[in-house]
Amino acid sequence: MRVGVLALQGDFREHALMLGGVGIEVALVRQSDDLSGIDGLIVPGGESTTIGKLAERFGLLEPLRAAIADGMPTLGTCAGMIFLAGSTTESRPQIQLGVLDVVVRRNAFGRQVSSFEADLEVAGLSGGPTHAVFIRAPWIDKLGAGVEVLAEVEGHPVMVRERNVVATSFHPELTGDGRIHTLVFSTVGEA
C-alpha cells in the first residue's frame, strides 16, 4: 500500500515518517497528478484555512473529493479533521471537502494556552490508551447518521469514523505511536 500525504502546509513530514515507521510507502501530494497511484490519503495537522485555500487555488478540491468518495482510506488529523468535515460552527464559511458528515467546532478547547496532552481510550485500538496531543484542537459538535465515535474527551467526540474516513482532533503523528495509522490503513482498507 502506498499512502499520499497532502503536503500543502502543516506537519506532513511527521506523517510521512510515521507511515515509514509502520512499513507503508509514502507519496507527497501537492497537485492533482500526485493522486494517481496512491491507495490511501492523509490530511495532516496544520492551519485548516491555509490548506483549504491552497487546495482550491491549485485545483485539488474535486480530485480529492472524488478519490475519497470512491472509497480511498483517509485519515485527517486536527486541521485535517476540519478540512474533511462538512461545516464548522464559525460564522464565516471556510473551504472544506465535505466528505465527513459532521459539524466541527474549531479551537474548541481554547487557544494555545489551553492546548494539552492526555492518555486517550480509542475504540478498537488494542494495547491500551494512546497518548494524545491536542493543539488548538477542534471537537465535533454534530454527528451525521453514519458517523461512529471512536474516542471522546469530556463527552465531546475527538475521533470519528464514517465508512473509509477517520478523523482525529489530536496528533498521532507527534507521539511515535503508529497504531492509529496502522488501524486506518488496514481496517478501513478492508471495509
Partner 1 sequence: MEQGTDRVKRGLAEMLKGGVIMDVTTADQAKIAEEAGAVSVMALERVPADIRRDGGVARMADPSRVEEIMAAVSIPVMAKVRIGHFVEAQVLQSLGVDYIDESEVLTPADEAYHIDKWKFTVPFVCGARDLGEALRRIGEGAAMIRTKGEAGTGNVVEAVRHMRTLKDGIRRLQYLDDEQLMSAAKDLGAPYGLVCEVAETGVLPVVNFAAGGIATPADAALMMQLGCDGVFVGSGIFKSEDPAPRARAIVEATTYHSDPQILAKVSRGLGEPMVGIEMERLSDEDRLARRGW
Least distance from C-beta 155 to partner 1, angstroms?
14
Give dist(CA 171, CA 177) in Å, integer: 10
C-alpha distances (whole Å) from 26 to each of 67, 84, 115 are 17, 20, 29
On the CB side of 30, CA atoms within 13 Å amount to: 6
> 107: closest CA among 76, 142, 139, 136?
136
Among 17, 22, 34, 53, binds partner 1 (CB under 8 A): 53
Query: Is 131 among the residues known to form the active site?
Result: no
Least distance from C-beta 173 to partner 1, angstroms?
9
> 176: closest CA among 131, 137, 144, 138?
131
Residue 68 grid coordinates: 475519497
**Residue of 14, 78, 162, 181 with catalytic role:** 78
Stretch that binds partner 1, among 3-11, 33-41, 63-71, 178-186 (CB under 8 A): 3-11
Strands (E), 54-123: 74-77, 85-88, 100-105, 116-120
Query: Is 78 among the residues known to form the active site?
Result: yes
Q: Is 87 in the site for partner 1 (CB under 8 A)?
A: no
Q: Is 9 in the site for partner 1 (CB under 8 A)?
A: yes
Query: Is 90 among the residues known to form the active site?
Result: no
Q: Is 116 in the site for partner 1 (CB under 8 A)?
A: yes
Q: Locate all alpha helices (DSSP H) within the chain, ordered by sequence.
A: 12-21, 48-57, 61-69, 79-84, 179-183, 189-190
Stretch that binds partner 1, among 12-20, 32-40, 67-75, 180-188 (CB under 8 A): 12-20
Residues of the shown chain interacting with partner 1 in the complex, contacts defined by CB under 8 A:
7-14, 30, 45-47, 49-50, 53-54, 57-58, 78-79, 90, 92, 106-107, 110-118, 133-136, 171, 174-175
Q: So which residues are the catalytic ones?
A: 78, 171, 173
